[in-house]
Chains A and B, each alone.
Chain A
C-alpha cells in the first residue's frame, strides 16, 4: 500500500555566511532523511536537541526559515511532492491536510485573541465554514478535546487557561480542518507528568476518532514506548535506526539506540548508570565516518571511513551501522550482533 507520507532523502541545510576568515558553508541539519508514515500509523521520531527532528517537521510543512533551506529530496504526501508545490497550493495543505502541534502552547497561541476565535480562524482560513458556523464548530471542537464547559471557554484568552488546557486548544486547532496527518513536536515536554499523561491519552483518542496519522517528535523514550507504532531514531541530522516499537525497545540494532535505552535509570537503585561517553557532535564538525563513531563502544575499522548506509537488522529494522553489514559481520564474529552480551 502506498504510504500516506513518504520522505525520500530529504536534506535541509543552514547556510553560514563567510567572513572573519571563514568560508561560506552549509550545515546539514537534516541529512538525507527517508521514512514512511502509513495511514493510521503513529511514527515516533526520537532524538536529542540538535538532532534535526524539529527541522524535519518544519521541512515537511515547508516552514523552514532562511538561512535554512531544503536542499534536496522529495516529500511525497498522498503521492504529491510537496517540495514541487507553489506557495498557494502549499498553503492549502498546511493546517488543512497536515497540521502541526507545537511544544509551547503559550507561545504558539496568540495572546490577544480569544481561544474560540483562534479555533474558528483555522476553519475560516481554509473556507471550511461561514463565520456563524465557525463559532459553533469551535465549541464542538473544544468539546471534542474534552475541555469542560466549552461554550464559556471559547471566550477565554490563552492566559486564562492552564498549560494542559492550552495544549488541548492547540490540538483542537490542529484538528479543525480534519487533516489526515498531524505532526506533534514535543507536545508534552513543557507539561507536568500528570498533564502529559492526559494529553497523550487525548492524542491517542483523537487519532482513532479522526482517523489520523501522527508524526510524534520527542526526546522521551517513555513517551515513544507508550504512543508510537514505529520509531525512527535521529542522531546528528541522520536517521540511524527505524523499526516497529517493540523491536526497537526489545532489540535495538544501533549502538546509539542501545546506549540511550541502557543509560536510563531503572536498574538497582544507587548503581552507576551506563552512560554514553562524550557529547553530541556539532553539525559543523561531524566526523568523516559514522557521526556516532567517536562515542560508540562497538566502533571498528570501517566506522571512520564513510557514513554507513542503511542495513537490514533484526526482523524488520534498519540501522545505519556497519555491525549489520552482512559481509563484515562474517569477518567480525565478535561483533555485537553475534554476541548479545556485548550489547551494552
Chain B
C-alpha cells in the first residue's frame, strides 16, 4: 500500500461566460493518477497552468476535487467528514511558495508556530511553549527570536517558520509547493539542505511541486511531468532525465538554461498539435511511464 494514492483525479473550474453566454468548463486537473511511497520525495513538475498546484491542493482537500479518489494510508480522504478531515490534516501538511504572504504579519513567530497546536488542542501551555522552541531549533532558527514578527525575518528565515508550522503536528506527509522559488539564490541551497535533513531525521514523505527542474533532479526519487492538466510522463528521476520519452518532457528538459557557457545546446521545440491529449500512460521501462 502506498502512503498516498491519487486515482483519476479531476478538478474542473467553470469559466464565467458573461451576461449572454453560458460558462465553459476547464479541466485544470484531468484524470491524474499516481502513488507516493512512504519515505520518498515525489516531484510534480510542469509549467504555469499545468495543474500541479491544484493537484496538491486537491490531495489536502484545500480545493474539493470534482471526481476521482485520494487515499491516504488506504483510506479515502474524500469520504472523510470535515471533522475526520481535520484530524487527517495533522498527518498531511503543506508549505507554501511565498513566505511573505503565507505568514500572518500581525502574529509573532511564536504564535504562528503554536497555532496548529492550539487548533488541535494539543498540550498544556508549558508543553506547547517547549514544543514551539524545539520546532524553532529544528528548522535552524534561534528561539531567542520567537517573539519577533514575520517582517523582522529574512525570506529564508520566514520559509523556515512556515516549515516549523507545518511540522508542529508531527506529520508524516508534507506537500512542498515551490518552497524555495521565492527565495534569493544564495539562500535557496540552505533551505533545500534543511528539507533533505528533516526528511531523514523525521522520516517524512514529500510531494515536491516545482518548476525548477535542476532542483527536482537533485532531490526527487520519482517525478511526474504535467502538461495541460494531465501527467504525460512519470518515472524514476534518473531514468526520466536521462531518456525522456514524451515530446513535452523532451522540450522542457532541453529548455533548462545550463550554467556552463560551453555546454552543448540542442533546443527541442514542442509542436502542441503533435501531442495526443488522449494517449494513455504506457510503461516504457520498469516504473517509467509515458503517454505516447
Contact = CB atoms under 8 A, between A and B. Distances in A.
Given A264-B214, A273-B192, A275-B192, 18 more contacts: A194-B251, A197-B255, A221-B259, A222-B256, A224-B259, A226-B265, A263-B189, A264-B189, A265-B215, A265-B217, A265-B219, A269-B217, A272-B193, A273-B193, A277-B190, A279-B156, A279-B187, A280-B184
Contacts of A220: 185, 257
Main secondary structure, interface of B, reads: helix
B129 interface: no
B184 A223 contact: no
A155 interface: no
B87 interface: no
B184 A49 contact: yes
B259 A249 contact: yes
Interface of A: 48-49, 192-198, 200-201, 219-226, 245-246, 249, 256, 259-261, 263-267, 269-277, 279-280, 295
A193 B186 contact: no
Nearest to A201: B267
Interface of B: 47-48, 154-157, 184-190, 192-193, 196-197, 211, 213-215, 217-219, 237-238, 251-252, 254-263, 265, 267, 269-270
B257 A225 contact: yes
Contacts of B259: 221-222, 224-225, 249, 261, 264, 266
B270 A194 contact: yes
Contacts of B252: 193-194
21 contacts: A192-B211, A194-B255, A195-B47, A200-B257, A221-B185, A222-B258, A222-B259, A223-B257, A225-B259, A226-B258, A249-B260, A256-B186, A261-B259, A264-B259, A266-B259, A272-B196, A273-B192, A275-B192, A276-B186, A276-B189, A280-B154
A279 B157 contact: yes
B118 to A, nearest CB: 30
A266 to B, nearest CB: 6
Count chain B CB atoms within 10 A of each CB in A48, A192, A265 and give the residue with the most.
A265
Contacts of A272: 193, 196-197
Given A194-B251, A194-B270, A265 B184 contact: no
B192 A265 contact: yes
Contacts of A267: 218
A219 B188 CA distance: 12
Contacts of B186: 48, 256, 259-260, 263, 276, 279-280, 295
Contact of B185 (A198, A219, A266, A271): A219
A163 B252 CA distance: 17
B255 A274 contact: no
